């Protein structure tokens, strides 16, 4: 290995990284695809970045280099305690990087056998979720939200739909007492929103989960917390609390963004709408298109080099932080074939290697059901503003719209419950319908099909609880 001259002479590792791009501010939100293309042209598949002023890192935007990074945890560890920046006193105590990178006893922070133990427990607990129940819960939550909107035929799908629906579903997954549902919604909302309330909400959320874990340890039920506690891996109460926080907070954010970005694609992308009109594409295809083009998490921290090495032609020093450029790696021209991306799930939106997201299958079911329900209930849904006026949050991590204003005139009532029947995988398609003359777009979705629903008092009680939570959220 050839050591760069400035390092061989004892120089500062960061001083030798000319042209480091800031991974903060509006550049990463306004035109991320252009930014990654410029990085690739100037630096190759691994580019020097600033995570914040004075804090250096590397952004991995090569597809093969991403696979190399994520498959070698001996050289590129998930344990952030390897990071030299905080060891050298260069990370502010109030830095927004602290909550993103601090070590916790979770599957995200572990390597080797400990990661395998935690990821097995989390994956198998998630695997116990009944998919029929999850679909029915998501549909009931989506319908309750839509029914809560005012009579003027306008809505902001980010504020009134995408940011609320995952929280409603997670409340049901934890099987919280009905009176605790509003508390959970308020605390997670406070954590996601910036400001002075964020840290207080995080502390309250941790305390609530700790109390919940204690209750489930004494009286197990049929819920996610109880399944984690009962797993043969023997998770401690602290491990269950922290892994639940990871699932709920990270899962909430990515699900929010995936729903919003998919609806945006369906309402704005003429190429994709034309394909759907011809019956060659489905809502599931739209979900995959988003995971390639605008994944809900565009960059993810991180990996830390355990020794000096070379990756993508760049000299990486021990203790360097490497950020997974999920969107940038998906943009790598070397992986785009002549047939395009339709039906191709080789994207890196969920990461790769042993640390691939364990909740990707439940997340897909939630998002697909949410989009299908929205299109069923509002068959003439359309954008309320020209597509170019939509704006993105200035986040280096999330690919998220600030708002998604829509118009609608027709409301289709929820589908009645059908007798119980086996659920089989189904791909749902829709075709555009004519819009009112005032519509700023030229086509919108119509009613999809879906598997039959389960009837009975349990489903009625579920819908009642969700309507009650939505009513609390709407101030009714």
Question: Which residues belong to CATH 1.10.630.10 in the chain?
Answer: 104-292+353-476
Q: Which DSSP string corresponds to 261-284?
A: HHHHHHHH-HHHHHHHHTTS--HH
Q: DSSP letters of 72-107?
A: -TTTEES-GGG-HHHHTT-S-TT-THHHHH---SST
Tell me the pLDDT tens digit for each residue of 315-339.
999 999 999 999 999 999 888 765 5
Positions of the chain with pLDDT lower than 70, given as ranges: 1-18, 178-179, 181, 185, 189-199, 272-281, 337-343, 413-457, 472-476
Read off the tokens for 42.
């100037």
Which has the closest alpha carbon to 309: 60, 113, 87?
A: 60
Residues of the chain with CATH 3.30.43.20: 1-95+298-348
CATH number for 1-95+298-348 (one of 3.40.1710.10, 3.40.50.1580, 3.30.43.20, 3.30.2020.30): it is 3.30.43.20
C-alpha distances out from residue 242 to 16, 105, 247, Å: 38, 7, 9
Q: What is the pLDDT of residues 148-163, one digit of tens each?
A: 998 889 999 999 999 8
CATH 1.10.630.10 fits domain 104-292+353-476: yes
Residues contacting 475, CB < 8 A, separation 6+:
none
In whole angstroms, what is the distance from residue 316 CA to residue 48 CA? Answer: 10
- What integer pLDDT is reported at residue 223 of this predicted model? 93
């Amino acid at each position: 290995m050839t050591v760069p001259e400035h390092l061989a002479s004892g120089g500062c590792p960061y001083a030798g990284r000319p042209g480091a791009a800031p991974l903060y501010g509006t550049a990463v939100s306004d035109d991320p695809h252009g930014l990654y293309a410029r990085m690739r042209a100037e630096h190759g598949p691994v580019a020097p970045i600033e995570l914040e002023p004075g804090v250096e890192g590397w952004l991995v935007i090569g597809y093969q280099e991403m696979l190399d990074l994520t498959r070698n945890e001996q050289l590129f560890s998930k344990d952030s305690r390897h990071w030299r920046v905080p060891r050298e006193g260069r990370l502010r105590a109030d830095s927004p990087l602290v909550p993103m990178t601090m070590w916790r006893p979770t599957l995200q922070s572990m390597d080797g056998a400990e990661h395998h133990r935690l990821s097995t427990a989390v994956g198998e607990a998630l695997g116990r979720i009944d998919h029929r129940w999850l679909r029915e819960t998501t549909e009931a939550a989506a319908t309750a939200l839509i029914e809560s909107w005012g009579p003027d035929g306008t809505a902001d799908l980010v504020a009134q739909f995408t940011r609320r629906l995952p929280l409603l579903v997670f409340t049901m997954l934890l099987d919280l007492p009905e009176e605790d549902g509003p508390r959970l919604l308020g605390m997670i909302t406070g954590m996601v929103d910036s400001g002075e309330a964020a840290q207080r909400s995080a502390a309250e959320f941790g305390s609530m989960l700790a109390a919940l874990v204690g209750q489930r340890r004494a009286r197990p039920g049929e819920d996610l917390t109880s399944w984690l506690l009962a797993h043969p891996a023997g998770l401690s109460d602290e491990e269950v609390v922290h892994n639940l926080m990871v699932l709920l907070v990270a899962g909430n954010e990515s699900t929010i963004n995936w729903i919003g970005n998919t609806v945006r694609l369906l309402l704005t992308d003429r190429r994709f709408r034309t394909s759907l009109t011809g019956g060659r594409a489905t809502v599931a295809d739209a979900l995959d298109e988003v995971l390639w083009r605008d994944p809900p998490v565009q960059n993810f921290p991180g990996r830390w080099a355990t020794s000096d090495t070379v990756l993508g032609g760049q000299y990486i020093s021990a203790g360097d932080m490497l950020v997974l450029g999920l969107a940038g790696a998906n943009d790598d021209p070397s992986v785009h074939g002549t047939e395009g991306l339709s039906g191709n799930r080789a994207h890196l939106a969920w990461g790769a290697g042993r640390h691939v997201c364990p909740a990707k299958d439940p997340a897909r079911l939630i998002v697909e059901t949410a989009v299908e329900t929205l299109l069923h209930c509002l068959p003439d849904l359309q954008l309320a503003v020209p597509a170019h006026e939509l704006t993105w949050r200035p986040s280096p991590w999330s690919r998220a719209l600030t708002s998604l204003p829509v118009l609608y005139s027709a409301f289709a009532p929820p589908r009645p419950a059908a007798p119980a029947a086996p659920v089989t995988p189904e791909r749902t398609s829709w075709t555009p319908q004519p819009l009112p003359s005032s519509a700023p777009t030229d086509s919108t979705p119509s009613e999809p099909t879906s598997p039959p629903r389960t009837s009975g008092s349990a489903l009625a009680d579920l819908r009642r609880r969700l309507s009650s939570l939505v009513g609390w959220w709407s101030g009714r």
